[in-house]
Amino acid sequence: MKPFRSILITGGAGFIGSHFTRLAVRSHPGARVTVLDKLTYAGNRANLAGLGGAIRFVRGDICDAALVARLFKGLDAVVHFAAETHVDRSLGRSADFLRTNVLGTHTLLEAARRAPGLRFVHVSTDEVYGSRARGAFREGDPLNPSSPYSASKASSDLLALSYVTTWGLNLSVTRCTNNYGPNQHPEKLIPLFVTNLEEGKQVPVYGSGRNRRDWIFVEDHCRAVDLVLRRGGAGEVYNVAGGQEKDNLAVTRAILKAMGLGRDRIRFVEDRPGHDWRYAISDAKVRALGFKPRESFASGLARTVAWYRANAAWWRPVKAGDFQSYYRKQYRQR
Ligand code: NAD
Ligand code: TYD
């Protein structure tokens, strides 16, 4: 494969996108790396701290067709992370999810079909398959999303794949399980709980706490995306799993243990509407490309807790902003 000379990363100021941007700078030496990010409540320039002149940062919206067309000139790869990503928010603000996740992806695809030779990775989620009591979903299984978030991601996956069939795009889709690690917005389970505990608060476990997720350390996910970028086939979907399935109470207990705190800090709260019981995927296909996660849940969680403890200056302003007002309305019992 020829080295990429110019890579566009959408959503590169967010959690996973920023880790991927760091990886791209290291693993594609000589490539011009551009980040396109709207800096919504979830985007944070501080996530790209230290990268300085190694990247070009463009603040803008993936729905802006004129801007996207300009940025696609001379590009040879796009890695598309930009999205509205939080299930709870999608219950209250679903229009934002449809706009960015569906129409924004459509805008990128329209530009991509006018860019011959472009390689495109559309980053998606295991949530598009829906919940599954036993066993694991494979890439060819039907999509059965439960929330406006996962339905908008499923729509964008299908749209992306349709551009392979119709326009011959060289595009692959990745569907990953729950990520955790440094720089994740404290609206998501692990950083919310770690930062609440740092603040002396309790942690709100939804429902019975028995819902199950498979967890992957963010850097492992990024390595899988980079591998798919280089070796993935056009029109192919790749599940990316962490292989560390746990129920939410087990995750909560692991956090409490890592922070030396007791179970009295757990507070059971009203369940999330439509709360998917369990996500599970088979990752044999991406493993056949050569991928294997490196971080165990215990070591990844220790790194994550240490990062949040050392970086209160990163998360305190985030928790004081949009986050607070949104959650006060959404879940009063917090
Ligand atoms: P995030 O919410 O932390 O970051 C999203 C980024 O996209 C932010 O920087 C935001 O400013 C930007 N953005 C949002 N709307 C935009 C728009 N219209 N134009 C340009 N930029 C915009 O998200 P994340 O957790 O890093 O997830 C990144 C991608 O990975 C998403 O596509 C998500 O569906 C997928 N994914 C996430 C997980 C997970 O556990 N977090 C798991 C599997 C897949
Ligand atoms: P989350 O991090 O929002 O990711 P997703 O819903 O995309 O899997 O939630 C992970 C799990 O943790 C999910 O089962 C919901 C649960 N959860 C809580 O119990 N309490 C919380 O405050 C949050 C944010 C999530």
Position 332 pLDDT exceeds 90: no
Structure tokens at 94: 């679903």
The atom of ligand 1 lying closest to the CA of 180 is 40
The reply to whether ligand 1 has any atom less than 6 angstroms from the CB of 172 is: no
| Cα–Cα nearest to 249, from 307, 192, 206 | 206
Distance CA 129, CA 126 (A): 6
CA of residue 134 to ligand 1 center, whole Å: 28
The reply to whether ligand 2 has any atom less than 6 angstroms from the CB of 204 is: yes
Nearest-CA residue for atom 14 of ligand 2: 211
Confidence of residue 334 (pLDDT cuts 50, 70, 90): very low
Could you report the per-residue pLDDT of 205-245, keeping only the tens digit for each?
A: 999 999 999 999 999 999 999 999 999 999 999 999 999 99
What is 240-295 written as a DSSP string? E--S-EEEHHHHHHHHHHHTT--GGGEEEEPPPTT---B--B--HHHHHTT-----
Question: If you average pLDDT over every residue of the chain, what do you get?
Answer: 96
Element (H, E) at 187: none
Residue where the block lists tokens 């692991």: 254
Structure tokens at 317: 């302003």
Could you report the per-residue pLDDT of 14-60, keeping only the tens digit for each?
A: 999 999 999 999 999 999 999 999 999 999 999 999 998 999 999 99
The reply to whether ligand 2 has any atom less than 6 angstroms from the CB of 178 is: yes
Could you report the per-residue pLDDT of 95-115, keeping only the tens digit for each?
A: 999 999 999 999 999 999 999
The reply to whether ligand 1 has any atom less than 6 angstroms from the CB of 179 is: yes
Average pLDDT estimate for 304-320: 97
pTM over 0.95? The answer is yes
Position 330 pLDDT exceeds 60: no
Determine the residue of 67, 81, 174 to mutate for testing ligand 1's pocket, defined as the one with the most ligand atoms within 8 A of the Cβ atom: 81
The reply to whether ligand 1 has any atom less than 6 angstroms from the CB of 182 is: no
The atom of ligand 2 lying closest to the CA of 272 is 15
Angle ∠(104,237,122) on CA atoms, nearest 5: 25
Confidence of residue 323 (pLDDT cuts 50, 70, 90): low
CA of residue 213 to ligand 2 center, whole Å: 9
The reply to whether ligand 1 has any atom less than 6 angstroms from the CB of 13 is: yes
Instruction: Decide if 6-179+218-240 and 180-213+244-274+301-326 have a common fold.
Output: no
How many Cα atoms within 13 Å fall on the side-chain side of residue 62?
A: 33
What is the assigned CATH class of domain 6-179+218-240? alpha beta
Any idea where the domains of the chain sit in the sequence?
6-179+218-240, 180-213+244-274+301-326
What is the assigned CATH class of domain 180-213+244-274+301-326? alpha beta
Catalytic residues: 126-127, 149
Could you report the per-residue pLDDT of 251-287, keeping only the tens digit for each?
A: 999 999 999 999 999 999 999 999 999 999 999 999 9
Determine the residue of 216, 248, 327 to mutate for testing ligand 2's pocket, defined as the one with the most ligand atoms within 8 A of the Cβ atom: 248
The atom of ligand 1 lying closest to the CA of 82 is 7
Nearest-CA residue for atom 9 of ligand 2: 189
| Cα–Cα nearest to 101, from 187, 11, 171, 26 | 11
The atom of ligand 2 lying closest to the CA of 248 is 12
